[in-house]
Amino acid sequence: MNEQIQKLLNNLIQLEHVSSTLYLAMSNYMNRLNYKGMGSWLRLQSEEERTHMLKLIDYLVDRGGTVELSSLPAQPSEFGTPLETFQKVLEHEKFVTNSYRQAFQFINQANDPQTLVIVQDFLREQVDEEAQAQTIVDRLKIAQNNPAAIFILDQELGQRKAAPAGGAAAQG
């Protein structure tokens, strides 16, 4: 395997690992504030990011590459209001999308069609990831500080189910 592509894949593995821990920290925070539905939604998001990480690890190993797991940065324990928390989710998903977009461009130039397909699958999924986060942000903005509206949205987000293996998560 091309050394630069191996490094790039290890960077994407790290990105997914950090994403998983970030969303787990956000889940814990929302649960502490008694937004159990939002906490559940974020926990499932954390699990989904971990699944992405494992998929990249398996792919790298299958291609004969070396996985290099780096230490993780500490995550915050406070994220603000539900709106501020989900604005951070949206911002992070946009960062992830941009990271995969840059990886796609590099891999395309390196002429590695198998890796290009894997990265393209993640890029395609990022459309849904950003759309879900944007919808939640928009709905929290509509709710403003209305406790009843936020409570209803919290209940709705708590209905999200885990994604089937290899698939995108059901919207919540």
Q: What is the CATH number of the domain that holds 104?
A: 1.20.1260.10
Decide if pLDDT at 168 tops 80: no
Q: How far apart are CA 91 and CA 34, in angstroms?
A: 24
Over pLDDT 90: what percentage of the chain? 91
Q: Is residue 163 part of a domain?
A: no
Q: Each residue of 62-114: pLDDT tens digit?
A: 999 999 999 999 999 999 999 999 999 999 999 999 999 999 999 999 999 99
User: Is residue 122, in this structure, part of any structural domain at all?
Assistant: yes
Indicate whether 41 pLDDT > 80: yes
Q: Residue 127: which domain range? A: 3-70+79-158
By C-alpha distance, which of 96, 104, 129 is closest to 13? Answer: 96
- Residue 166 forms part of a structural domain: no
Quote the pTM value. 0.91
CA 79, CA 144: separation in Å to the nearest integer? 17
Q: Give the ranges where the chain is alpha helix by DSSP (H).
A: 3-32, 36-62, 82-110, 113-143, 147-157
Q: What is the pLDDT of residue 165?
A: 57
Residue 147 near residue 133, CB atoms below 8 Å: no
Is residue 61 domain-resident? yes
Which residues define the annotated binding site for Fe cation?
Answer: 16, 49, 52, 93, 126
- Binding site, annotated residues: 16, 49, 52, 93, 126
Q: CA dihedral in degrees (37, 166, 129, 98; nearest 10)?
A: 140
Q: Quick check: helix, strand or coil at residue 40?
A: helix
Is residue 168, in this structure, part of any structural domain at all?
no
Structural domain count of the chain: 1
